[in-house]
Structure 1
Amino acid sequence: MADTLREIERKYEARGDAGGTARLPDLSGVATVATVTDQGTAELDAVYYDTADLRLAAAGITLRRRTGGSDPGWHVKLPVAPGVRDEFHAPLSNGLPRSLAALVRSRTRDVPLAPLIRIASRRDVRHLLDKRGTLLAEAGTDAVTATLLTGDGASTAWTEVEVELAQDGDPALLDALEPHLRKAGLRPSDAPSKLARALAETGVRAPARSVKQPGGKASAGDHLLAFLREQAEAVAALDPGARRGTEDAVHQMRVATRRLRSAFRTHRKLLDRRITDPVGEELKWLATELGVDRDREVLTERLRERLDEIPRPLVRGPVRARLRTWSHGSRTGSRRHLTAVLDSKRYLTLLDTLDALLADPPLRAAAAGPPRPAFAKAVLADYARLAGRVEHALATEPGQARDIALHEARKAAKRARYAAEAATPALGGPAKRFAKQMKAVQTLLGDHQDSVMARGALLTIAAQAEEAGESAFTFGVLYGREEQQAAQDERELPALWEKASDRRWREGLGA
């Protein structure tokens, strides 16, 4: 796997810069900077790669092969926030390393990469040190020349100042330095990266991929498409983190697929379901595959927390070791499985299908109408569906049948919540408050379902312990506690539902 760094930097150029006046002022004594040391000059030569339709540039991603400086090699930079990127390094080689190719696969898919532009920089490097000599940041003045490797071979040149925090550096330092840089005649660069500026100044326009909320006269279809684009972008953007095991990436990616599928089902009056239903089935497949690892992680964490809660005398035998054995045994190959899914033709085709659907959306005539009535009706329809399932569950005798009914109600609560969240840009505060109520119901029902799943797992683990000649007593204690938790959730549901189903929440939506 490639080496990873978190890059936090700011770029500056001279006011009215005509290509060579930007200079780094002396920053000694500013904030926590005690001294500034001259690290000499580095010659950097990088070739940037992209698809013919500039998919990486559209997503704010840079892929380059660079020589010179302290870190020659292949680099991929993924945007995290303005001025913040995760940078992945791999050693120099003739071809793009597989580890880096995987990080951009959700964007490139099966489309080949080719050299796009060459950027050469002559960098005067300064290190900003505190009084103990610890590196706080690196600042440099870059004389940049960029030349297109396609088309007419246009070129451009400029000078910029770049200040990059040391790893684990304090972002407040950048705020403290900025007034001094501005006083020296510098201003923040309009371009987020050298690549973005080079493309703009050589006349290359990358397609916009940012998701913007519709304006005041937008139709119901405009609002719905903005939500769908946001979720589709989330799937592609979270792909690298899911591949690398970044915390919560798989979960958030799964949520985005569910939001997409839920929106297709909720807004069947706005979308042609002959087109969206097959896509929804593929999203269901992806969510299921993403959940193979995630569900087991959540369940294992729940059982560990429950084990921590019981008195020590009730812990009999190698309980934690048995729990680890069960957890690891059930997850054998799960990371490889996830990678195989994300590299599969089926997944990459789904991403292409989503792009095509959003480029030419299958909107029905009702989508041209105003957003408020369309979204309000959709949210209330999902609420009515949820109400029927909750009432059925509450009328069912405790036991397996009620567990199943409550699980179905949980899925309906999630759909109602997603519908309200998607409606918030159109309906404002009432939809946001309604979503909060639906989330509370979903959370309670989710805890109940987790308890059901935990009891099933505990029966399996207890049987494994007995087969190994170990005591299963503690797993019985945990099972009993999960039964109590489920019963408590069931007792709390009627009052919570009464609050969540208060007519005032629906009246705010226009009921």
Structure 2
Amino acid sequence: MALQSTEGAKAEKILLPRGIATVDAFRMIGRSVLRHVVGNEAAVRELNPDGVHQMRIGLRRLRASIAAFGELLQDEETARLKRELKWLTSRLGPARDLHLLELRIKRQRGAGRAELVAEIAARRARAFVGAKAAVQSLRYRTLLHDVQHWIEAGAWSARPALKPAHRQAAEFAADVVERRARRVMRKAERLLDLDVEKRHRLRISAKKLYYAIGFFETLFEGRKTGDRLAAFQSTLKELLDRLGALNDLAVQQKLARSVAAPNGKRAGVDAHEPAPGDRVKIEHLLQSAASTGAELASAKRFWD
């Protein structure tokens, strides 16, 4: 095995060839995404924040591929691996979230921040050690071995559960993307009417759609189709960036509450309410997300 970089490794572009069968497309995607996960092991062991971030993305992409190929992957082994992938994701999440909170608090001005920064830094350090322990564990090694075997020769492959029309990846991909895109576009069009929980579900759906497009994009052929796909993908990414920023603020507020004193205040910070600057930022992000959502809802379809 090639030496791994201690820096975060980004995902490689997936190039599915014309005429590929759906089963083979899944295997190509699975191998690529698994390489993305494994490629960040060394960086996580070195407590590198970008490595933790990239491994989390790899795990999300792997889970998104399972969701995209749900018609194909109908077996108990897949269900078990989904639970194990969720476990690993949960071991990496706190490190990433506390790292972002520490950076944010350090950027803020005001007296009495030292105690808060010190406590967040201590929790961050423990979380990174926990992430490192996870990728050094037997459970992690077993998971990697099982996922690799599952991709190549899992129980699902004995009798692939696919409709005849979905045996070719191009047709399968078009149906998957269309179904997911229409759902996201419908909700994005009325984003300001959604409460926090519904916006969170929209973000998850939009992320799964974004990853699915990345998996299948080389199957959508033609210059006109390619132009439409690129425009749609760009707008979807903008929406995800805004929804992601809103989610980061919500997570950081929750973490700030967890380190606050019982009376709800520490270091001059009210842990129960967003800071005034955050309220302005949240409103700006909501309006910007709504505008981007409306743009996405009216985007030209590339999957027709």
Match of 1:96 in 2: none
Residues 438 and 216 of structure 1: CA distance in aligned 2, closer, same or farther (over 3 Å): same
Rounded Cα–Cα distance in structure 2 between residues aligned with 1:281 and 1:300: 30
TM-score where L is the length of structure 2: 0.82
Contact 1:455–1:479 (8 Å) recurs in 2 = no
Secondary structure of the corresponding residue to residue 286 of structure 2: helix
The match for 2:59 is 257
Paired AA for residue 143 in structure 2: L
- Pairs within 5 Å for 1:166-315: 213-305=15-107, 307=108, 315=110
Distance 1:299 1:273, change over 3 A: farther
Instruction: Return closer, same or farther for 1:385/1:246 CA change in 2, 3 Å cut-off.
Output: same
Query: What amino acid maps onto 2:43 in structure 1?
Result: G
- Determine the C-alpha separation between the residues in 1 that align with 2:250 and 2:239: 17
The one-character-per-residue Cα deviations of 1:77-98 (angstroms, maximum 9, x if unpaired) are x156xxxxx8xxxxxxxxxxxx
Contact 2:68-2:176 at 8 Å conserved across structures: yes
Q: Which amino acid aligns with 1:248?
A: D
Equivalent in the alignment of 1:406: 199
Q: What are structure 2's unaligned runs of at least 5 residues? A: 7-11
Question: Aligned pairs, how many?
Answer: 289
- Structure with more relative contact order (C-alpha pairs < 8 Å, separation 6 or more): 2
Equivalent residue number for residue 219 of structure 2? 426
RMSD: 3.0
For 2:24 and 2:128, locate their aligned partners in 1 and report how far apart those are by CA, in whole Å. Answer: 38
Closer, same or farther: CA 425–324 of 1 in aligned 2, 3 Å: same
- Which of 137, 162, 172 is residue 374 of structure 1 equivalent to? 172
Match of 1:364 in 2: 161
2:9 alignment partner in structure 1: none
Q: 2:303 & 2:49 partners in 1: Cα distance?
A: 36
**Contact 2:188–2:294 (CA<8 Å) still a contact in 1?**
no
- In 2: Cα distance, 1:480 partner to 1:355 partner: 48
CA distance in 1, matches of 2:177, 2:170: 11
The correspondence for 1:318, drawn from 96, 112, 116, is: 112
Question: Contact conserved, 1:219 with 1:369, CA < 8 A, in 2?
Answer: yes
Over 3 Å counting, the alpha-carbon distance change for 1:299 and 1:360 in structure 2 is same
Equivalent residues in 2 for 1:322-341 (5 A)? 322-341=115-134
Cα deviation for residue 299 of structure 1 reads 2.3
More strand by share: 1
Aligned residue in 2 for 1:446: 244
Match of 2:282 in 1: 486
CA 1:285–1:419: 2 relative to 1, 3 Å? same
* Separation in structure 2 between the aligned mates of residue 472 and residue 217 of structure 1, nearest angstrom: 58
Partner AA of 2:118 in structure 1: T
Contact 2:14 2:215 in 1 (8 A): no
What SS class does the counterpart of residue 333 from structure 1 fall into? helix
Aligned equivalents of 2:68, 2:162: Cα separation in 1 = 16
Which of residues 461, 481, 499 is equivalent to 2:295? 499
Greater Rg over alpha carbons, structure? 1
Taking structure 1 as reference, are residues 221 and 452 closer, same or farther at Cα in structure 2, changes over 3 Å only?
same
| Identical aligned residues as a percent | 20
- Residue pair 1:257, 1:283 contacting (<8 A) in 2 also: yes
Q: CA deviation at 1:393?
A: 5.1
Q: Give the unaligned 5+ runs of structure 1.
A: 1-58, 62-77, 81-85, 87-209, 309-314, 397-401
Provide TM-score, normalisation by structure 1: 0.51
Q: Deviations over 1:414-447 (max 9, x none)?
A: 1111111111122253444433222111111111
Cα distance in 1, alignment partners of residues 13 and 255 from structure 2: 42
Of Structure 1 and Structure 2, the greater helix share is in: 2
Q: Which one-letter code corresponds to 2:177 in the other structure?
A: V
Deviation at 1:376, TM superposition (A): 1.4
